[in-house]
Amino acid sequence: MTHIQTSTSGPVLDKDLAAVERSGPGRKTRPAPRPRGHRENLTGYLFMSPWIAGFLFLIAGPMVFSLYLAFTDYNLFDAPKWVGLKNFTDMFADPRWRQSVKVTSWYVVIGTPIKLAAALAVAMLLAQKRWGQSFYRAAFYAPSLIGASVSAAIVWRALFSDDAVVDRGQQLFGIDAGGWIGDPDMIIYALVGLTVWQFGAPMVIFLAGLKQVPRELYEAAEMDGAGPWRRFWSVTLPMISPVLFFNVLLETIHSFQIFGSAYIVSNGSCGPADATLVYTCYLYDQGFANSRMGFASAMAWLLLVAVGLVTAVLFWSQKRWVHYEEGAR
Amino acid sequence: MSRNQGMDRRQMLKLAGFSAAGLGLTAAGCGSGGGSNGPVTIRHAWWGADDRAKKVQECVTLFEKKHPKIKVKTDFQQYPDFWKKFNTQAAGGNPPDVIQNAVTFLRKYEAKNVLLDLNPQAKKGNLKLEGFRAGLEKFAEIDGKLLGVPVGSNSMALVIDEKVFEKAGVDHSLGWTWDDWYAGLQKIKSGQGIAGDSGPHGVMYLYDLILRQNGKAFFTEEGMGFGESELLPYWTEALARVKSGVYADQKKVEQIKPASALAKGLSAGEFTWDNFSVRYSAEGKSSYSLAPIPTTDGKKTGQYLGSLMLSGTARTKHPAEVATFISFMTHDPAVARIMGYDRGVPATTAQFEAFQPTDAPSKAIGAYETEIAKAGVLEPITPHPAGADVVEAAFLRIGGDMSLGKASPEDSVKQFFSEAKTALASN
């Protein structure tokens, strides 16, 4: 569609301008001929209609309905009853909700930086020319392709269970602590490990960013006597800061929404002892197991507001640390 | 370029026509039934594991052979996931036609008009209600509506690792007391280094029996039948037993889920429904047997018959076919020969007589149920109010969290009652 519009917009515009010029003062204004673009727009909308319908019925509609539900008591079966802000006050008084906020915040604050650091470190290694480079890139990216799948989480659960690979590995070092899955203090690290392992997507973006850094800057820095660490700190990081910002933003939002891996690794319990009770897991449990859909909707909207606020803060903070080329901002 | 500048009206109409046809086809594909003369398809959903799946599928194949005009599509999940999915389907107006059901859910879904009243179908002759053992046909009757038909009866029991109990020389005959049981666990722990029990503190149905032995019950018609002062000593004691190793290491119990701690050798006993021993025998390496529920006074066990049942759902377009299928599953002798005691001891005499167990676990179940029936310990079941399912899940989870040392018994008890209150109010 873009192609059609660009190729025809020129002549249509010229004709319109000519019509305006002709209708000077004192002349009888002739209506401009109906531009051909209208029909094209119609065609465009027709082609877009499945998406528009999908958006209206599957996204916008449910969102508006969910906003309404957030202020009701709705058990999935009986008609929703308006309760005002009760769901929100109940939420703050609920220790399990507070636990879910705690677990999610911890996961975002710890997991995201580690994942990005891993992605950047590997991207820097892969940015250098070496034999088998394409293989390494594909191999490091592969986990993110399968990472979102249920099977990866199941494998993760198997790896970190009692007497499984990780447990036996620990035993080699004389640590007989059992598996991580049943340990409320350890299972969250297994989850963080799973997310870090899926660093492929930010890695590819970092790789693209690293390729854009002009070689001359490194040469100049080297001539000034800057070592590798200094070059990384004073050249690489500022130069890739827009890419870093993009990745931080995306991964933070992504981390807030963690569900599948927590649900599967904990065998659907979000436990043990609520140790993996991430926000969406509690939301799902309240909505579908406890039939408190009004409460779950209120939780969902609060999450949206929280993610919005964090995004706003990140955008605000970027002025201080993101370096754009002149005029690129 | 002219082609790119837009479609003519005819092309657009064609496109619109194809889209509409596509939607129509999709809609047609979503329909579950056939025409009035063609075969009717009903959906049957149940919870359980793979071994039950094979058995149910075998029964369905047999049913379709006998009733060529009815097709049955099956679907199964693990227990908690089953209900999450069912809630969503039922709320969306598209529940399966026949579901496996339990007493915990009857009032909840009755209040929401989700379940089909099977009485009219029984009157029409599509569902046979004669020949049930011990009045089981009334098991799911609530306010004059018949909301389910039992497929089997089961009772709570202590499933034990026979070899371990034998080696420890623990006498577990009917009427033994909680003190006898606990002394046995200590003997097992000190003699063989194994935890004597998986940790019964989260099992709602067992705690119900303990309360009933003391003249109370887990639920009353109105709500909870006990208070914080009863639960606190029970959970405090449980935590001490976990710490001393008499109950299994809860971290390990947690990570082998959904497998059972007993079947995986983490403990020598587990309080659960007697028919679970069939599953444990398939999962575990030892030989498993059933011991009676210990008592407080040497007599009263507080036990009652529980049952898995099949229910129809109210929005089904094919109530007659639903009833025919349920009738087949509960009466046909061939079904009993396939299912065995997988869902409990068959509820009808015809099925009970058709299956003569030859395997040890099934024989043990048969003997156990005969023994408790003869001893006259069985009592009527206590009510399960709407929301009982959520209360049960909370009891299991909070009891588990406490035994992992993440919350004190005091806080756990408070948390449980707070959640139970919310669940009973909102369901």
Which has the higher per-residue pLDDT, B239 or B50? B239
Residue B25: predicted pLDDT: 41
Q: What letter represents residue A264's amino acid?
A: I
Q: Does A54 touch chain B (CB under 8 A)?
A: no
Contact A272 B404 (CB under 8 A): yes
- The confidence band for A134, taking pLDDT boundaries of 50, 70 and 90, is confident
- The confidence band for B136, taking pLDDT boundaries of 50, 70 and 90, is confident
B281: enclosing H helix or E strand: helix B276-283
Mean pLDDT of B104-108: 92
* A-B Cβ pairs (cutoff 8 Å, strict): 109
Rounded CA-CA distance B20/A279 in Å is: 41
Mean pLDDT of A247-270: 93
What are phi and psi for residue B300, nearest 5 degrees? -80, 120
What separation in angstroms does the CA of B381 have from each of A214, B43, B103, B104, B286?
79, 30, 10, 11, 33
Residue A68: predicted pLDDT: 98
Q: Does A78 touch chain B (CB under 8 A)?
A: yes
- For residue B6, pLDDT over 50 is answered with no
Rounded CA-CA distance B181/B174 in Å is: 11
Q: Tens of pLDDT along A9-63?
A: 334 444 444 444 444 444 555 555 556 678 889 999 999 999 999 999 999 999 9
Neighboring chain A residues of B113 at a CB cutoff of 8 Å? 77
- For residue A109, pLDDT over 80 is answered with yes
Sequence-distant (6+) residues with CB within 8 A of B270 are B158, B159, B197, B198, B200, B260, B261, B262, B280
Sequence-distant (6+) residues with CB within 8 A of B197 are B185, B246, B247, B248, B267, B268, B269, B270, B271
Sequence-distant (6+) residues with CB within 8 A of A79 are none
Quick check: B156 and B277 in contact, CB under 8 A? no
Residue A175: predicted pLDDT: 84
Beta bridge partners of B73: B43
- For residue A294, pLDDT over 90 is answered with yes
Residue A148: predicted pLDDT: 61
Rounded CA-CA distance B112/B410 in Å is: 35
Residue A35: predicted pLDDT: 61
Please, is A135 exposed, middle or buried when counting C-beta atoms within 10 Å of its C-beta (0-12, 13-18, 19+)? Answer: exposed
What separation in angstroms does the CA of A282 have from each of A254, A270, A296, B279?
17, 8, 8, 31
- For residue A284, pLDDT over 70 is answered with yes
Quick check: B394 and B209 in contact, CB under 8 A? no
Percentage of chain B modeled with pLDDT above 70? 91
- For residue B33, pLDDT over 60 is answered with no
Structural tokens at position B41: 């398809």
Rounded CA-CA distance A19/A34 in Å is: 11
Residue B85: predicted pLDDT: 94
Mean pLDDT of B13-19: 48
Q: Where are the beta strands (DSSP E) in B53-170?
A: 70-77, 98-102, 141-142, 145-146, 149-154, 156-161
Mean pLDDT of B321-333: 97
Give the closest residue to A274 by CA, choosing from B401, B396, B420. B401
Quick check: A282 and A97 in contact, CB under 8 A? yes
B28: enclosing H helix or E strand: helix B9-30
Residue A164: predicted pLDDT: 87
Which has the higher per-residue pLDDT, A177 or B160? B160
Contact B252 A292 (CB under 8 A): no
Rounded CA-CA distance B280/A14 in Å is: 82
- Å between B334 CA and nearest CA of chain A: 36
Rounded CA-CA distance A263/A212 in Å is: 39
Q: Tens of pLDDT along B204-223?
A: 999 999 999 999 999 998 89
Q: Tens of pLDDT along A77-95?
A: 889 999 999 999 999 999 9
- For residue A241, pLDDT over 50 is answered with yes
Q: Tens of pLDDT along B272-311?
A: 999 888 888 888 999 999 999 999 999 999 999 888 999 9
| Burial readout A268-298 (b: 16 or more C-beta within 10 A, e: otherwise) | bbbbbbbbbbbbbbbbbbbbbbbbbbbbbbb
- For residue A178, pLDDT over 90 is answered with no
Mean pLDDT of B361-367: 90
- The confidence band for A287, taking pLDDT boundaries of 50, 70 and 90, is very high
- For residue A122, pLDDT over 60 is answered with yes
Quick check: B342 and B281 in contact, CB under 8 A? no
B contact residues 73-92, partner A, Cβ 8 Å cutoff: 78, 80-81, 83-84, 87-88, 90-91
Neighboring chain B residues of A184 at a CB cutoff of 8 Å? 401, 404, 406
Average pLDDT of chain B to the nearest whole number: 89
Contact A273 B426 (CB under 8 A): no
Neighboring chain B residues of A293 at a CB cutoff of 8 Å? 91
Which has the higher per-residue pLDDT, B67 or B15? B67
Whether complex ipTM tops 0.85: no
Mean pLDDT of B400-409: 94
Percentage of chain B modeled with pLDDT above 90? 76
Q: Does B413 touch chain A (CB under 8 A)?
A: no
| Burial readout B51-61 (b: 16 or more C-beta within 10 A, e: otherwise) | ebeebbeebbe
Which has the higher per-residue pLDDT, B157 or A325? B157
- The confidence band for B19, taking pLDDT boundaries of 50, 70 and 90, is very low
Residue A144: predicted pLDDT: 75
Mean pLDDT of B347-365: 92
B228-244 vs B204-213: helix crossing angle, rounded to 10: 120
Residue A34: predicted pLDDT: 59
